[in-house]
Amino acid sequence: MSTSCNDLQKLNSVLDSFIVRKTIPSLSSILEEPITHFLRNTQEIPIINLDLIISDLEEMNVMSAVYVKCAGDIHMGMLLYLPEKESKTLAAKLLGKPISNELTGIATSSISEIGNILTASLINAISIDTGYKICSSVPGYAVEFFRTLVEAVVSDFGNESDTLVVSNIELCGVNSGMDIHMLLIQDPSEVKKLVI
């Protein structure tokens, strides 16, 4: 492992401040309700041991997920995910009408846009604080087992390192109880750029 515990703690604090300042207000405005958050300890994990970020409860769950890759002065990936059932609740709230069957068309587009907005809120906060220029990809949407989603995101980082730095963020609607999770994934070499 190449990232010090001190740097991981600093990264956790920096990310938490960005989430509080930009991400929570963005989601609160969209969902029209207060949002609480929990940022689990940021950790560096070996790529060969994804079980450190995949709990037994999540492993076999089918999740709706949005992946956005960020590049520029800093590189990271953001995976927004929630259980498929909750994604229907989220889409119904966003569209103002019930979703009865599988998510298609505008419903999946609305969830993809939430991933895009939350990612943009975070990278804009990073840009404002650091001056870094960061661009994000078009959001990719998938419904898949959680392990498969995480493996796809990890493979997107290539072979630069045998570890990744992962921050797990939980956002919860106070009134609806809706839980949205975000994994922020970085190569360890990127951490120093945020903990200056």
The DSSP H or E segment spanning 139 is none
**What does the pLDDT look like over 33-73, one tens digit per residue?**
999 999 987 888 888 877 777 665 565 678 889 999 999 99
- CATH code where residue 75 lies: 3.40.1550.10
Range of the domain at 137: 5-194
Residue 96 confidence (pLDDT)? 83
pLDDT digits (tens, 9 = 90+) for 82-140: 988 888 888 888 888 877 777 778 888 888 999 999 999 999 999 999 999 999 999 99
Average confidence (pLDDT) over 140-148: 87
Structure tokens at 34: 């207060």
Question: Which residues lie closer than 8 Å to 163 by C-beta, 6 or more apart?
Answer: 1, 2, 3, 44, 45, 46, 47, 188
- For the chain, what is the domain count? 1
